[in-house]
Amino acid sequence: MPTKKLSASDKEFLAFAKRFEKQVRNVPDFPKPGILFKDITTVLKNKTLFGETVKQLAKQYKGKKIDKIVSVESRGFIFGAALAYQLGAGFVPVRKPNKLPAETLREEYALEYGTDALEIHTDAIKKGEKILIHDDVLATGGTAAATAKLVERLGGKLIGACFLIELSFLNGREKLPNLDILSLVKVS
């Protein structure tokens, strides 16, 4: 099977992703023993890398006429809002229950032990709007899948989801079938 030749922009994106990955700090045993936490505050404090991250993500969606970026609290808000600005799109926060002030739609999802829920304002998305989901990490996929369901319930048209880091060993992509997914860094 022939290998696809990478374009100059693909090579630039891959080189950037490697620089990004080198700046992410690994914090062992946080928030509990056995977990290796991927800390992006090291990227946030670097004004050059922070700006380049937003620009590199935006390049991937340029020309797709995205109406809104939907992001999950709280780290997803940081790059999600900046990405929305860069793309000339609106920004929609998805939050844990009882954090949004107006009427909300709620979606429950399964955790390893129990359930959790996310909410979105009922007037956040108009039917047919093109939506991109952004979050900092794709792990088991529960949060992203619940967010996708909220978008669909409001009539939004999902064009993809982008993440800074994907923990691919947790198979989160499986919960997002038929959705174009972009991750800067994949951890196996």
| Set 19, 75, 153, 173: catalytic member | 75
Q: At 153, give phi and psi (nearest 5°).
A: -65, -30
Catalytic residue flag (residue 112): yes
Give the contacts of 71 (CB within 8 A, at least 6 positions apart): 77, 79, 80, 81, 91, 92, 93, 94, 133, 134, 135
User: Is 75 a catalytic site residue?
Assistant: yes
Neighbours of 33 (CB within 10 A): 7
Are the C-beta atoms of 106 and 146 separated by less than 8 Å?
no
Alpha-carbon 153 to chain mean position:
19
Q: Could you give the C-alpha distances from 150 to 20, 38, 59, 140, 142, in angstroms and in order? A: 30, 27, 26, 18, 12
Residues with catalytic annotation? 75, 112
